[in-house]
Structure 1
Amino acid sequence: MALYPFKLYCQRIDATRNMARYYMLAIETTLFGETAVVRSWGRIGKRGGIKCEVFPTEGDAARHFLELARRKRQKGYIPVGNCGNAT
């Protein structure tokens, strides 16, 4: 089980540009016990892309997760809800 079981769901909506996008990030454990950062993205209501990156340590995965979250925040994505994270 991952030490950092985090999920982040963000949206970027701009009606003037007909933009309604989502971006999801999660740290998960693979079937083989490795730690992975899983991300998916696309237009809200449509099927989008998905990418899974495996890391040697949970710390490396957490650093990558936070870097991706920082970049998306700079582009205007806003977190929506808590995605099941412990409060």
Structure 2
Amino acid sequence: MRFVTATSLFDGHDASINIFRRILQASGAEVIHLGHNRTARDIVQTALQEDAHAIAITSYQGGHDEFFRYVRQLLDDGGGDHIKVFGGGGGTILP
């Protein structure tokens, strides 16, 4: 499995995504880690270019609903409808 991991735009809280990244790597997954403060477009372009199976994003900023919907839209529009999106963070409830 190949994952892209990142923290959403305007978010510098990267502790939880680093934990996710380490767990994924310890489980044998290949991880492309983009770090914190990444745009939806950055994350999706990387996932498509790297032929990722999934994306894991953490978000502690208030616009997570819109952010995750936009990630899904960009994936679907770019031919990445097969890519799974996992997310979490402080108060994050995914659509």
Give the TM-score, by structure 1 length.
Answer: 0.31
More strand by share: 1
